Amino acid sequence: MSNNELHLFVFEGVRAESIYVEKLEQNFLGKRISVKCVYDAEIYQLYKQLKAEDFAFDMVDLLKERSKENAELLCDYTRDSFAYVYLFFDYDAHSTMADDDKIAEMLKFFDNETENGLLYISYPMLEAIRHYKDKEGFKELTVKCKRANCPYKNECEDVVACMKEPHYKTVSASECRPQLTNINQYTKEVWQELIRAHVSKMNYLVHDVFDLPNKIESQSTIFEKQQEKHINHKCPEVAVLSAFPIYVLDYYGVEGLKKKLED
């Protein structure tokens, strides 16, 4: 993939996602030629908007309509300005609009960065990137994901306690290595450790091997494995997994990433 072609990043949130990508660029990727925009809503709201337009849309025009900030940032651009489009959203299964069929449809639609765009999902949320202490603990790390949307809540003896559990942002902050609560402390070495851990976790999810993968996996495959192994069970959960390291793997390729992790 050429570093000289313009990238468009579309983030769910107002600030946090873009900060993570900027720090990742500074400490690992190198500076991208890119434009970073915010959709400022959950993936399910994006789905609703696209469904209303029968998925016939222009991503740049859609973003311009979302906010004055986007309109100003993209005023000199059209969709043809961007060689690659990447979208980063949370799984957010506790949302009132959550629907796994919608996620599956979105992942099939946004499956190519040079066409409609390539959608990356963080499980359960953006903060998965910091929910890490060591590789052994991270290997099996899962969290409940549906809360009030759990289809088995009326059968669960622990439903009251489950509903009172802290928000994932709190959980990820309290259960991570203290250094990881502050993105400004993420050095190149920290990024290398986190990227290695998350892509190994992806490989473990798909192939039951906790090690660097031998091939790139699609976001649809990752979601299907989350459903098979974790989501579609009596106590729905997800394997904690950040989208950002998977993007890095896709960007460099298997052999390219191995070299970067050894630098």
- Retrieve residue 167's tokens: 């928000």
Q: What is the pLDDT of residue 5?
A: 84
- Is residue 109 over pLDDT 50? yes
What is the distance between the terminal CA atoms of the chain, rounded to a whole angstrom?
20
Q: Could you give the strand order of the β-sheet that contains 111-112, starting from the edge strand earlier in sequence?
A: 34-38, 7-11, 84-90, 117-122, 111-112
Kindly state the average pLDDT of the residues 251-261: 95
- Read off the pLDDT of residues 139-155 as tens digits, 9 standing for 90 and up: 999 999 988 888 988 88
Are the C-beta atoms of residues 199 and 245 closer than 8 Å to each other?
yes
Shortest CA distance to 93 belongs to which of 138, 48, 144?
Answer: 144
* Count of positions (residues) in the chain: 263
Q: Which residue has the higher pLDDT, 49 or 4?
A: 49
Q: What is the pLDDT of residue 255?
A: 96
Q: What is the pLDDT of residue 83?
A: 94
Q: What is the pLDDT of residue 22?
A: 86
Cα separation, 59 vs 101, in Å, equals: 22
Cα separation, 144 vs 262, in Å, equals: 34
Domain residue ranges of the chain, discontinuous segments joined by +: 7-262
- Read off the pLDDT of residues 156-183 as tens digits, 9 standing for 90 and up: 888 898 888 899 999 999 999 999 999 8
Grade residue 209 by pLDDT with cuts at 50, 70 and 90.
Answer: very high
Q: What's the DSSP call for residue 166? A: P
Q: What is the pLDDT of residue 14?
A: 67
Q: How many CB atoms lie within 10 A of CB 5?
A: 13
Q: What is the pLDDT of residue 96?
A: 87
Kindly state the average pLDDT of the residues 42-49: 92
Q: What is the pLDDT of residue 222?
A: 98
Percent of the chain at pLDDT exceeding 70: 98
- Read off the pLDDT of residues 56-92 as tens digits, 9 standing for 90 and up: 889 999 999 999 999 999 999 999 999 999 999 999 8
Contact partners, residue 188, CB within 8 Å, separation at least 6: 27, 28
Cα separation, 163 vs 225, in Å, equals: 26
Q: What is the pLDDT of residue 1?
A: 40
